[in-house]
Amino acid sequence: MKRLFNSLFLLSALALTTVVFTGCKDEPDKYEVSGGTPTIRYIRPVGIDGADSLLVGAYMDNNICIVGENLRSIVKMLFNDQEAKLVPSLITDNTMIVTVPGQIPGEVFNKIFMINNSNDTTTYDFKVLVPGPTINNMNNEWAKPGEKAIIYGNYFVNDPNIPLTLTINGTNIPIDDFSISQISFTVPGGLTEGPIEISTVYGKVKAKFNYHDTRGILFNDWGNYDAGEKSTGLTNHGWHAQQILSDEHSLDGSYLMLGDCDLEDGTWADAKASFEYWPGDWDGTFVGVNSRLSDLVSFADFENMALKFEVSIPSSNPWTNLSMQVIFSGDEQVTLPTANNKFFNGTDYPRALWTPWRATGSYDTNDEWVTVTLPITTFKYKNDGTPAGTPLTAKNFTGLTLFIWSGVTSGTTCHPIIRIDNVRAVAY
């Protein structure tokens, strides 16, 4: 037992305050703080499987079991300079289950500090391990030079000796701003397609996606084939010829536009809100602009893939009703010569329902382009949002239909403009 007098930091961090324990709501009066001084004998993982393993450190947000004596005398506990949340129902005289704080330490002592009811502090050597960085997604994988871009993830830590770094296709990118969970930067001129990597003092990670990702491209410069630009030339190939535009709103060449029509509960607006790519031609060929999507991209590992695209919805025309039915189809469901809507209209065929307005009642991208990711594992619903009875198989990836209809129908009437580009199927 000793008091801390030498460190200004510890004087402020460990000063006794009113302690509020989070206890079991059904037994609020069971727990009582005891007197005396706590002692830690050892720390082990939680659970029977880890009972024989001793820990000298643990990652943030992990649960650990502290074994010792007089542990109910602890009224406050810190790992380095971060306070842990004490749960009375998980504390006895001899054991305590506690979660290592999820905040990165501001000052590292590699110790646990335990303060008792008398404001005495006991220490125990223990390291808080910080994970390496993780990358989840980017606001716009096709952001143009000069535009602000944001990468989202976790554990973006800057160290004076080993600083936080961002590289794209081998080019070091100046960071404008960052937090533990996001990095913002300005896309430099001349930046070309390539992998994204982030490095910290705790490790290095490479994103699964590329900047300006053309891998798995199905539709980009709609209707224009250019092998050098990896443009497939695919476009409208079904019952409806939706608008393909190239104007001041373009992200990268031409784009598909859906909507620009009134949508309300019960609307069937296929003339303006349905895009179909159904493979094949009347002569029975499936080549070139009549190709099966599975001939352009391998869907052998589709359960670990996602459909991605960029979307722009102006704030003047937000989306507030119905879902976008995103439907992969196989030759057994539909081809151009066998055109039909039976596979998506009132059947058990699985699809994804993209409804970004549902959380807030309205969705737009403020006239900017953003990247949308739909894991293929989410393609499992009927048109009304109930579970589909049949799963997708590797045979169901020759065509694609996008149709704003049904799904969530609890919104308000809207007249959305939905611009779509760079539709691709990639590893996820």
Per-residue model confidence (pLDDT) at position 6: 37
Confidence of residue 273 (pLDDT cuts 50, 70, 90): very high
* Longest alpha-carbon distance in the chain: 89
**What token pair was written down for 140?**
């716009």
Nearest CA-CA partner of 404 in 260, 246, 245: 260
Please, are residues 218 and 296 in contact by the beta-carbon 8 Å criterion? yes
Q: What is the mean pLDDT of residues 243-250?
A: 97
Per-residue model confidence (pLDDT) at position 399: 98
Q: Which residues, 6 or more positions from 163, have their beta carbon under 8 angstroms from its beta carbon?
A: none
Phi/psi for 288 (5° steps) reads 60, -130
Confidence of residue 30 (pLDDT cuts 50, 70, 90): low
Dist CA 319 CA 157 (whole Å): 37
Per-residue model confidence (pLDDT) at position 14: 39
Q: What is the mean pLDDT of residues 269-279?
A: 97
Per-residue model confidence (pLDDT) at position 13: 38
pLDDT tens profile 110-141: 999 999 999 999 999 999 999 999 999 999 99
pLDDT tens profile 193-209: 999 999 999 999 999 99
Dist CA 347 CA 278 (whole Å): 18
* pLDDT score of 27 more than 60: no
pLDDT tens profile 309-348: 999 999 999 999 999 999 999 999 999 999 999 998 878 9
Compute the Cα dihedral for 14, 17, 23, 29 and give only its sign.
positive
Nearest CA-CA partner of 409 in 358, 365, 363, 364: 358
Return the minimum-mean-pLDDT range out of 44-48, 68-72, 197-201. Answer: 44-48
Dist CA 135 CA 63 (whole Å): 24
Q: What is the mean pLDDT of the chain?
A: 91
Model confidence, pTM: 0.84
Nearest CA-CA partner of 399 in 374, 373, 425: 425
**What token pair was written down for 421?**
């580009």
pLDDT tens profile 370-426: 999 999 999 999 999 999 989 999 999 999 999 999 999 999 999 999 999 999 999
